[in-house]
Amino acid sequence: MTRKPVLIPLLSTLLFAAAATAQTPPPAAASPQPPPEPAAAATPPVPLLWKASKGETSVYLLGSFHLLRPDDYPLAPSVDAAFEDASRLMFEMAPEEMNSPTLALKMGQAGMRTDGTTLDSELPPETAAALKAWLADNAQRVQSIGLTPQAVQMFEPWFVALTITLIEMTGHGLDPALGLDTHLEQRARQAGKATVGLETGEEQIAFLDGMHRPEQLQFLREALESSGEAGAQELDKLHGAWRAGDERTLWNEMAVRMRMEYPALYQRINVGRNDAWLPEIEALFGQDGNTLVTVGALHLLGEDGVVHKLRERGYTVERVP
């Protein structure tokens, strides 16, 4: 019986740059394609949406899932209302960089081994065997993003683990082109609204490339263990919690065990980024007009989240029903 993955849920739903590369081969970047037209859902997802206020200025905080399905649209009326009320939109990364064909190249370059060794040379035998089996079972999907089993040996464990995770997610019907960030960015462009980013693609890539070796090897092992039906069930649970606006389940499943078992990584990839974003978000209250901030859902949840930190600083922050 495989143990429940700890790193997969957090890393696969936090990192915006990772979703951008989900369908792009690392060696050669393709021009971004428009997403397919979403199909109407019977019931819109319950949004993880908060409104922070100070004086007459408001900042909406919306928790995203970076890969979604067609039936996750349309969005709830409260999200549409926040979009209409906002003069500008803020994302983890500026859309012009997110849509740049060089982003996938940068991630691929960061993930390449530079010491002349192969990936298998540092893997435990059971992990190497599991990787070989996964590559054989998923040969067509791996080839579709421009990789071969031989090319995989040229990359670091974190990059291969992320590639496996994203292939599994897209194979389970989740599409980065339908992610909430992408959807809102396109709406903003059509509406002529300004868009800005909280951090750069290089910074997001550095969070992954800076993982310690034991963390990278654990990430790869968990990616392999959570592939297939077991991983799909866990993914459905997280996606269902996001659709239900269930912040408690998302917090417990995506953060609590991660914080206990990988405190250094959790601090770097979640808490550190939240703290770095706070001054950027607070500066929005000094600008004319309201802002809609859309970031990975976990960044808004729990005692380490942006919502709690803004309340501690004296802002009025209320969940939008």
Residue-wise pLDDT tens for the chain (321 aa)? 445 666 666 666 666 677 666 544 443 333 344 444 545 446 899 999 999 998 889 999 999 998 999 999 999 999 999 999 999 999 999 988 888 878 888 998 999 999 999 999 999 999 999 999 999 999 999 998 889 999 999 999 999 999 999 899 989 999 988 999 999 999 999 999 999 999 998 998 998 899 999 989 989 998 998 888 877 888 899 999 999 999 999 998 888 888 888 888 889 889 999 999 999 999 999 999 999 999 999 999 999 999 999 999 999 999 998
Please state, in angstroms and rounded to a whole number, the distance separating the CA atoms of residues 247 and 138: 34
Using DSSP bridges, classify how beta strands 57-64 and 290-296 pair: parallel, antiparallel or unpaired. parallel
Q: Are 164 and 11 in contact (CB under 8 A)?
A: no
Structural domain that includes position 176: 7-319
Does some domain include residue 2? no
Does some domain include residue 1? no
Please state, in angstroms and rounded to a whole number, the distance separating the CA atoms of residues 27 and 51: 41
Give alpha helix (H) positions in the chain.
7-14, 16-20, 77-85, 95-98, 102-110, 125-137, 139-144, 149-152, 157-171, 180-191, 201-209, 213-225, 229-243, 247-251, 257-261, 263-266, 272-283, 306-312
Q: Are 233 and 12 in contact (CB under 8 A)?
A: no
Does some domain include residue 84? yes
The domain tally of the chain equals: 1
* Neighbouring residues of 117: CB distance < 8 A, sequence distance ≥ 6: none
Please state, in angstroms and rounded to a whole number, the distance separating the CA atoms of residues 198 and 204: 10
